[in-house]
């Protein structure tokens, strides 16, 4: 089986809807990439509860803290395309050994089973899943698709301004790769 990475944001969906969406997309494994896998609104979305009910629906579950968000950007961040500090911080994290190791494990799993990375943000372009998908597509040549709440799968288009360095890692510094190329607006709308 060729690797294909899916991404999914649970948002306010309950366990029945999540199971329905994942099954409809053929997902058999979920890798939770939330930094703090829980929900004040829905206890079914806690790490412990997901590990109970997802396998009951035929979907394997594991948490991967090395892929979690909320990273801090270094002051000299080369990722100047991102205006949002959270995205800049996560972009720097994608060059860390821990991230690369976790991604390589994830993509091996995605070659064996239809796998989705899951976070809480509903839309991928406002979530660190965007950078995870960029890495899969650009650094590893693995296609990525985003599972939307209406059941559609949309192919990932890499972030404008992302560039593969000679060492095989990503940097977001290519203003010429952006729409407009003027350097005044980042891909995150900032």
Interval 74-130: pLDDT, tens: 999 999 999 999 999 999 999 999 999 999 999 999 999 999 999 999 999 999 999
Q: pTM for this structure? A: 0.92
CATH number of 5-177: 3.90.190
Share of the chain above pLDDT 90, in %: 86
| C-alpha–C-alpha distance, residues 75 and 89, integer Å | 10
| C-alpha–C-alpha distance, residues 91 and 174, integer Å | 13
- Amino acid 38: pLDDT: 84
Residues facing 60 on adjacent strands: 29
Q: Mean pLDDT throughout 8-16?
A: 95
Residues facing 162 on adjacent strands: 172
pLDDT of residue 188 exceeding 80 = no
In the chain, domain spans: 5-177
- Amino acid 50: pLDDT: 97
| C-alpha–C-alpha distance, residues 173 and 27, integer Å | 34
């Amino acid at each position: 089986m060729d690797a294909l990475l899916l991404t999914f944001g649970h948002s306010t969906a309950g366990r029945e809807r999540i199971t329905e969406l994942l099954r409809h997309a053929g997902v058999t494994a979920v890798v939770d990439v939330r930094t703090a896998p829980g929900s004040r609104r829905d206890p079914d979305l806690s790490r412990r509860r997901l590990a109970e009910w997802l396998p009951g629906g035929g979907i394997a579950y594991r948490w991967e803290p090395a892929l979690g968000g909320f990273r801090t950007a270094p002051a000299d961040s080369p990722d100047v395309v991102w205006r949002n500090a959270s995205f800049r911080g996560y972009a720097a994290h994608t060059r860390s050994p821990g991230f690369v190791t976790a991604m390589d494990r994830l993509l091996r799993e995605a070659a064996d089973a239809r796998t989705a990375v899951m976070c809480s943000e509903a839309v991928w372009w406002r979530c660190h899943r965007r950078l995870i998908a960029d890495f899969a597509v650009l650094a590893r040549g693995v296609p990525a698709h985003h599972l939307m709440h209406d059941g559609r799968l949309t192919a990932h288009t890499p972030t404008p301004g992302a560039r593969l360095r000679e060492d095989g890692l990503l940097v977001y510094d290519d203003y010429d790769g952006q729409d407009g190329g003027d350097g005044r607006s980042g891909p995150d709308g900032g």
